[in-house]
Amino acid sequence: MMKIKSKEMFLDAIQTDRAWRRKELTNIQIIIYKSRSAYTKTLIKLGILLLYSHWEGYIKKVCEAFFCYLNFKSIKYIDLQPNFKAIGILSEMTEILSHGKFVHHQKAMDFINENFEMKKFEYDIKSVISLQSNLNTEFLLCILQMIGLDKTHFMNNKYFIDNKLLKFRNAFAHGENIQDNPEYIIYVDDFNDLCKRVNNLMDLFENQVINHIETESYKNS
C-alpha cells in the first residue's frame, strides 16, 4: 500500500507510474512501425491489449494515490464535499450490514446518528481499486463522481471508450475469430490514433486529480 503524506509525494507517485507506461506504449508503436507486414496485424492486436491495460492500470493507480493521500489528511467529513460523505456512509454501511443480524443493523443507525460528520474520513483503498472487469464509461463516470471531478470531456468520448477501445480489447482478449470482419481492421495509423487519444484521456484524468489536490477543491468551500 502506498504511503502518500504530501502533495509532492502524490505527484511523484503518479508521474513515476505514468512514465514507464508512456515508455511501453511508445516502444510498441515503434515496434509496430518497424515490423514486417506479415507480423503487423498480430502486433497491433498485442498493442491494443497493452494500451487498454495501461488505461485501466493508470486510472486505478491515480485513484489509489488520491485516496491514500486523503486518508492521511484525516479530514473530518463535515469539511469535505458531499460525495466523500456518501463514500463514508456507503463504506460503513456495507461492512456493517453484511453481517445480516439486527444488532449490526442497529450499529449502522448508531454510526449515522452519532455525529457522523465529525468523524475523520477513512476509506478502504482496496474497495476503490478493485475495478470491474472493464473500465467502460459507466464505471469511469462512477469513479469521477466518487472523487468529485468533471465528467463532461469523458462523456464526450463515450463512443471512443466503449465502441472502439473496449470493443477491440474485448474481441482480442477473448480470442474471437474476427480476422475477416471489417469492423476490426486496424491499420498502423489507426493504432497510433488510439494511443494518442488514450494518452490524452489519461492526461486529462491526471490533470483533473492534480488540480483537485492543489486547489483542495475536495473540501467544503
Q: How do residues 159-191 score in pLDDT, each as one tens digit?
A: 999 999 999 999 999 888 777 788 888 999 999
- pLDDT digit string, tens, across residues 116-136: 778 889 888 776 656 566 899
For residues 57 and 137, is the Cβ–Cβ distance under 8 A?
A: no
Please give the model's pTM, rounded to 2 decimal places.
Answer: 0.89
Quote the cell numbers at residue 155. 462523456
Alpha helices in the chain (DSSP H): 7-34, 37-73, 82-97, 102-113, 125-129, 137-147, 152-156, 158-160, 166-173, 188-215
Report percent pLDDT > 90 for the chain: 68
- pLDDT digit string, tens, across residues 56-85: 999 999 999 999 999 999 999 999 999 998
Which DSSP category does 198 fall into?
Answer: H
Question: What pLDDT shows up at residue 88?
Answer: 83
- Phi first, then psi: give them for residue 76, nearest 5 degrees: -70, 145
Q: Which of 143, 5, 125 is closest to 13 using CA atoms?
A: 5
Q: What one-character-per-residue DSSP string does 18-39 give?
A: HHHHHHHHHHHHHHHHHS-HHH
